[in-house]
Amino acid sequence: MFKLAPLSVAIVLGLSGQAMANDSQSNQNQYGNENIAEVKQTKASYSTTTQTQYGEGNNSAALQDNATGDIQQNHTGQYNAGYAEQLMENAGQINQQAVGAYNNTHASQSLGNGNLVQQTQEGSGNFSFVYQDAQNGSTATTQQWGNGNEANVEQLFGGTANQALIQQTGTNNFSAAEHLNHQNGQIGIFQTGEANWAYGDQRDGQGGSVTINQHGTLNSTEVWQDQQTASQATVNQYGQTNEAVIDQSFGADNLATLTQTGGFNAIYADQFESQQSVTNLFQNGYGNVHYTYQTGDNHTLTASATGTGNKVLASNWKGNKAGGQFGSGQRADIKQSGTNNSANFTQADLNNELYFEQNGTDNQLIADQRGIANYAEGVSSGVSNSVKLDQSGMGNQSYVNQLYGDHNEVNIKQADGANLAYVTQGGTGNQAIVDQSGVNMNAAIQQFGMGNQATVFQQ
């Protein structure tokens, strides 16, 4: 949960105002520096507050309690602060606009329905915060243009079909949005520039959606969707040295999709203790790395990389640790095209499927399948490719094709009986080794070219 910035607390809840009648209006205009404008409207339906300040170091605060009204705050200058709060409102609106540098805008709506917050900031070093709790059908929108700005949106403690949108343009921007105990909540964060950071958090809800787009360099994104059902997370990054983290744990029927274009990008995707979730990872560039971890049943993973030095490494968190897919009915599709690509993957339990393609130079796949009735199929094309596959359990099948390359190598190990291994190679200096232990084993090797070697151990 985000912390509120100090916004002259003395002028916020300690307002001394007057109770207004229905259809009341309050207009305040101030010119100069260090001015203070305060309005409080209580039990005054269809009331309107407009506060406009020009200068430096000004503060404006407006509170509407059971008023079902509108609040408009405008600031032009530097170091200005605006606070707007609505309690138990229906169809209330807060509109805050600031032009200049180092301005603060804060909007709060609680215990209402169909409310709207709109914030617009132009300049640099600005800060915006939207807080909505126990709301239904409410919307929060923040727009910032400039450098070094920060935007935060919180929609907490229940709510249905709430939406949060943050748009930033510039450099060194930071955005964060959070949903808690929600249904059909939506978060959209769009950033353009460099060194931006975005954070999206949805927990304990259903049908939530997080979409983050970043354009530039040195961008970073974190998305957390814990204990979610039928939620989606989408991250698109374009540039260089981007990093993306998605965690969908303790949920079901969730979807995670990440796309990166550039260089030195990294993806970390976890779906821990979840059911029937899908992860799609796409990278196009060079030096990319993605780590994946799925536990539960009936998961699907698709990982594609095009470029140089890409890797797919199974991990239960950031780093090359033990991880992969653990459970039944899992499927993994790994495709790599380029140079020095590497895939390291583990599947454990039964009825899991692994499909892989490696096209390029010095590619390597090391796969470990543990359990019963697992299936592995792959194609490796290029130079110096190596495939190592270890299957332990019964009724496993492996099909490996390395067609036309140079000194490629396949090493398959199967144990516990009734396993099947097929190897086809084409090129020069290829080597195939199949090691099977148990009963009812079957191995078939085909080789084309010159100097190939095939070795089969059955015991």
Is pLDDT larger for residue 105 or for residue 43?
Answer: 105
Instruction: Identify the weakest region by mean pLDDT among 47-61, 156-170, 211-225.
Output: 156-170
Instruction: Flag whether pLDDT at 130 surpasses 90.
Output: yes
Q: Which pLDDT band, with edges at 50, 70 and 90, does 76 fall under? A: very high
Query: What pLDDT, in 10s, does the model give residues 387-426?
Result: 999 999 899 999 998 888 787 889 999 998 889 999 998 8
Q: How far apart are CA 268 and CA 118, in angstroms?
A: 33
pLDDT at 58: 96
pLDDT at 7: 36
Query: What pLDDT, in 10s, does the model give residues 293-333?
Result: 899 999 999 998 888 888 888 776 666 666 789 989 999 99
Of the chain, the percentage scoring pLDDT greater than 90 comes to: 51
Q: How far apart are CA 177 and CA 2, in angstroms?
A: 9
Averaged pLDDT of the chain: 87
pLDDT at 321: 60
Structure tokens at 237: 């990054």
Instruction: Flag whether pLDDT at 207 surpasses 70.
Output: yes
pLDDT at 151: 96
- 55: three-class secondary structure by DSSP: strand
Is pLDDT larger for residue 38 or for residue 147?
Answer: 38
Instruction: Flag whether pLDDT at 1 surpasses 50.
Output: no
Instruction: Identify the weakest region by mean pLDDT among 204-208, 248-252, 324-328, 393-397.
Output: 204-208
pLDDT at 373: 92
What average pLDDT does the segment 105-124 reach? 93
Q: How far apart are CA 95 and CA 171, in angstroms?
A: 25
Instruction: Flag whether pLDDT at 248 surpasses 90.
Output: yes
What average pLDDT does the segment 133-155 reach? 91
pLDDT at 205: 83
Query: What pLDDT, in 10s, does the model give residues 6-46?
Result: 333 333 333 334 444 577 899 999 999 999 999 999 888 88
> Do the beta carbons of residue 224 and residue 202 sit within 8 Å?
yes
pLDDT at 385: 82
pLDDT at 375: 95
Q: Could you give the dihedral angle defined by the CA atoms of residues 143, 175, 104 and 79, in that order, rounded to the nearest 10 degrees?
A: -100
pLDDT at 171: 85
Is pLDDT larger for residue 98 or for residue 305?
Answer: 98
Instruction: Flag whether pLDDT at 268 surpasses 80.
Output: yes
What average pLDDT does the segment 63-84 reach? 94
Instruction: Count the Cβ atoms, other than its own, within 10 Å of residue 22.
Output: 12
The domain limits of the chain are 1-157
> Do the beta carbons of residue 93 and residue 67 sit within 8 Å?
no
> Do the beta carbons of residue 187 and residue 211 sit within 8 Å?
yes
Instruction: Identify the weakest region by mean pLDDT among 126-135, 315-324, 329-338, 372-381.
Output: 315-324
Q: Which pLDDT band, with edges at 50, 70 and 90, does 2 fall under? A: very low
